[in-house]
Chains A and B, each alone.
Chain A
Amino acid sequence: MSTYGKKYDVIVVGAGHAGCEAALAAARMQAKTLLLNLNLDAVAQMSCNPAIGGLAKGHLVREVDALGGQMGLAIDIAGIQFRTLNTKKGPAVRALRAQADRVVYSRYMKRIVENYPLVDLKQGSVKELKVEGERVCGVVTKDGIEFEGNAVILTTGTFMQGLIHVGLDHYAGGRGGEPPSDGLSDQLKSFGLQVGRLKTGTPPRIYSGSIDYTKAQRQPGDNPARPFSFMNKPVVRHQVCCYITETNEATHEAIRGGLDRSPLYSGVIEGIGPRYCPSIEDKIVRFPEKLSHQVFLEPEGLDTAEVYPNGLPTSLPADIQLKFLRTIPALANVEIMRPGYAIEYDYVDPIQLRNSLETRTVSGLFHAGQINGTSGYEEAAAQGLVAGVNAVQYLRNSEPLVIGRDVGYAGVLIDDLVSLGSKEPYRMFTSRAEYRLLLREDNADQRLTPIGRKLGLVDDVRWRLFNDKMEARERGQKKLNGSRVRPGDVELLKQLGIGEMKNGQSFAELLKRPDISIEQLANVDGKICRLYSQAKGTGRAK
């Protein structure tokens, strides 16, 4: 057994969205951290959808950012189209979503982790954990390298016993084009952990040059683009368009014609898939009355011709994939570059974890991301960050970071996982949060940055900007409480669109009316306007 002769505090297995945040959080808390990945050319891969954010997921990214995490900064750099969703609904359920350039995202994240002080990024496929008594003490890779570490975070994604299905053909793989990780889940079973099987799927990637965009509907981004990170300002930037098209009866006919060779319907796939991200064949079987399903054509980057047809995950045979795609007018001559596939993988029911994400059976062993039966980059990142923090807290014998359900979606996520377990890939939804009205994207910093600062996750620059905002906010509140409108202020009332007023009211009281917005008050009062833009961050000097 060889070793590089270095002892680590924290070893993170897997450098995906969970693993990167875990390693960075641990290092920010001064832990000597090793980040291992199967393949160093695939750090922070977007294995499926080339996008970050979305409803409730945008919230999670904001929370990761508020805790000093990397995901928000990464997507602000790698984003190629930004949109705010749910703008017609209330502030609590509005969320940001951005298309990403997958390669830029991955390269950015690799650059951050490999250069981060205290983080060693190394290639290695972990086949075994080293355990002394009931404590973890290191890992062994397939190459026979042994690493010592007092806490280990497993973020194995879809790699443990990964099995890829395209039609009735299947082969071992952790992701399209990559090998699986064998052996680890057997060892986890030997610790008494219950290991289950889940399934997820991805659509074929198609060649941009073969798409007739004139037959699809353009979907541009918002300009200026609102950033994910508290550290960035909205900017006008070059953005790409996505396109919307849809399936039709002929598509459905072609899909039905291939169901006999579907691993999903022939019983080959045993793992449970996510219902909110069903394969196209599943949608057609379960909702036969629906004559058409939307398809979003999303570019995978600026420097690639690959396009991700969102809405069409499938594990049908490749010939059927091509056949049904070509029934869609915009895709009549489409070329598939990579076929869609389903993947089955091992996960460990998170009901066996403490609320710190540490396993109950092995001290110092933490799980984050898809190994916990979740889906989504954002869910993974949030768990990764918390696991990273708690691995360090474990080593320090300190209280773990447990985010309340009323403090963050990250808290709702972990509490749900460890108290209810997961039977299908878990995705965050706003309806899971009983304190939904409190958990807005725009107050993630207020909810979490002070916590992050205490833990050592938030650097001085962010902390100063945060305090500037809070100060502006407080001054703004004082001003709102101090400014009054009287029944005689006819001109002002007219500007605010208020008909009649019996008693005078402070601006703060006025704001409680559903028809009065802070923007309106900012319009009639210069000082409020300044304080508002300062508190909102738009006037932030950088």
Chain B
Amino acid sequence: MYFEKDTIIAPATAVGVGAISIIRLSGPDAYTFLGGCFTPFKESTILSSHHLTYGSIVDVEGNVLDQVMAVYMRAPASFTCEDVVEVHCHANPYIVKHILNHFTSMGARLADPGEFSYRAFMNGRIDLSEAEAIAELIEAGSDTSTRIALQHLKGSMSAMAHELRDQLFQMLVLVEAYLDFPEDEVENVHINMLNHSVDEILKKVQALLYTFHTGKVMRDGLSILILGKPNVGKSSLLNYFLGHDRAIVTEIPGTTRDFIEEHITLGHLPVKLVDTAGLRDSTDIVEQTGVKQALDKIKDVDLVLYVVDGTQPDIPNFDLDEVPLESTPYILVVNKCDKFDTNTLGLSHEYVCVSAVTGDGMELLKDAIKAKFTVPESVDSSVITEQRHYDIFVQVKDEVYAFKAGLQQQLPGEFLACHLRDAMSSLGRITGETVPEDILNHIFTKFCVGK
């Protein structure tokens, strides 16, 4: 981008229908241009800097383009440090267009993307980090949970949303063409092609939904809860993962009363480990609270490492059903394998034998954890990371299923169209809205209809 000293113009507000649009000019001629087409309603009014004035924008032929509020900000007391003019007009895209055209016909140049911030930066109004902050702020407004690390993922997710939208759109075009033209113009065969497309879409949506858990893990990390009775070696396990003594380890049952959170990396996986108080009935109120907290956490984590002491004589009778794991995935970890014969362990569950003291079996445990979460090392397929997107795709899936069911029941097309329209309007929160005119345009391109 070259730093030119001409006068630029652009809408400062989003294009579309709303109450008010702001058109902004910056540069040496901004004031002259405004004077050339702005007539204040009170004839005596003089445009004073930083004051809004009510009047109308009039073109060369004397036509009123709109009634507006205009403000002039004299350099350098403006965002760009140049003369800046803002015209607040009615947010009709046509009005905005006419006003823009009028100013460009006087010599203003349409600004390049980011050119106002660029000028503010070049003229020393803002520094680079502020410029970035502006960009970030604008970004955050459109998608609050954007994270730089996930930019490429999000890009591909939105590409996927567009792809799905296009497929749904093609289907809707078939249905609408069938509805909007009599039988002798658009034949039913077109609608029969839908069955194939619908399965393809469902497959894609399912695959996408499936990535949500993985996606969330990649964003937030995998959280693992270490659970078990007192003194089975939970804290030793945590310390081993960390590679240093974080938790106090003693022979005394109930040493850990609070829970301890620590972050490690397991292969490519960020992991949050949570050590908890041992599960037992205790009269100690602090310990009781710790136990309750530990149990409450089960539903929030991605994986439970349930630790048992392999040296205990009642191991063969161990029953995991006593632990309220609900639907959280778990791995049964038999600790202290350095102190017993692993071959004689009569456990009916699947388990991993480790020694948190010698480190035996720890690699196996890590593999078992990784195996629970297949995370692609480099992500080139689409991944959903956000609840909002997940919800949207669930809605899409539900509507497409309903559409499929309707097809099978041979429901009339106008009911089928409702499901497609709803699915598209859900996707529209990612891809932008589809208006009836788009559908008609496509029908006319695709079908030779009309008498």
Contacts and interface: CB of A to CB of B under 8 A. Distances in A.
B60 interface: no
Interface in A413-469: 419-421, 429-432, 434, 436-437
Contacts of A434: 421, 436
Interface stretch (B33-41, B232-240, B407-415): B407-415
B185 interface: yes
Interface residues of A, number: 40
Given A90-B413, A90-B415, A294-B184, A431 B179 contact: yes
Looking at A89, A419, A420, which has the most chain B CB atoms within 10 Å of its CB? Answer: A89
A127 B351 CA distance: 95
A296 interface: yes
B451 interface: yes
Nearest to B61: A192
B103 to A, nearest CB: 19
Nearest to A351: B94
30 contacts: A55-B179, A55-B180, A88-B183, A89-B178, A89-B412, A89-B413, A90-B412, A90-B413, A90-B414, A91-B412, A93-B179, A93-B412, A274-B450, A275-B444, A276-B444, A276-B450, A278-B450, A283-B448, A293-B448, A294-B184, A310-B451, A351-B94, A419-B17, A429-B436, A429-B440, A431-B439, A434-B436, A436-B414, A436-B417, A437-B418
B134 interface: no
A290 B448 CA distance: 8
B326 interface: no
A287 interface: yes
A86 interface: yes
Given A89-B414, A437-B414, A430 B182 contact: no
Contacts of A192: 63-64
B176 interface: yes
A323 to B, nearest CB: 21
Contacts of A494: none
A434 B435 CA distance: 10
A311 interface: yes
Interface in A398-414: none
Interface in A38-56: 49, 54-56
Interface string A81-125: 000011011111100000000000000000000000000000000
Contact of A311 (B94, B188, B451): B451
A278 B183 CA distance: 19
Nearest to B92: A351
For the complex of A and B, list the 3 residue pairs with the smallest distance between their C-beta atoms, beginning with the closest.
A90-B412, A276-B450, A287-B448
B414 A93 contact: yes
Contacts, number: 87
B184 A431 contact: no
Given A55-B181, A56-B180, A430-B180, A275 B448 contact: no
A1 to B, nearest CB: 28
Contact of A277 (B63, B418, B440, B450): B450
A286 interface: yes
Interface residues of B, number: 33
Contacts of A420: 437
Interface string B366-387: 0000000000000000000000
B450 A429 contact: no
B449 interface: yes
Given A93-B413, A278-B450, 20 more contacts: A85-B182, A86-B179, A86-B183, A89-B412, A89-B413, A90-B414, A92-B414, A93-B179, A93-B414, A192-B64, A244-B184, A283-B448, A293-B448, A296-B451, A311-B451, A429-B180, A429-B436, A430-B414, A436-B417, A514-B411
Nearest to A294: B184
Contacts of B439: 431
A421 B444 contact: no
Summarize A's interface: helix, strand, loop or mixed: loop
Nearest to A432: B436
B414, B444, B451 — most chain A CB neighbours (10 Å): B451
A72 B105 CA distance: 51
Interface string B205-216: 000000000000
Contacts of B436: 429, 431-432, 434
Interface of B: 17, 63-64, 92, 94, 176, 178-185, 188, 409, 411-415, 417-418, 421, 436-437, 439-440, 444, 448-451
Given A86-B183, A430-B179, A514-B411, A286 B448 contact: yes
B56 to A, nearest CB: 11
Contacts of B414: 89-90, 92-93, 430, 436-437
Nearest to A275: B444
A439 to B, nearest CB: 11
A290 B449 CA distance: 11
Nearest to A193: B63
Contacts of B188: 88
Interface string A232-266: 00000000000010000000000000000000000
B451 A431 contact: no
A514 B444 contact: no
A49 B451 CA distance: 10
Contacts of A86: 179, 182-183
Counting chain A CB atoms within 10 Å of each CB, which of B178, B437, B448 scores highest? B448
A290 B178 CA distance: 18
Nearest to B98: A194
Nearest to A274: B450
A476 B312 CA distance: 77
B412 A431 contact: no
A421 B437 contact: no
B413 A421 contact: no
Contacts of B411: 90, 514
Interface in A290-342: 290, 293-294, 296, 310-311
A28 to B, nearest CB: 33
Nearest to A92: B414
B102 to A, nearest CB: 14
Contacts of B418: 437
Nearest to A276: B450
A420 B436 CA distance: 12
Contacts of A437: 414-415, 418
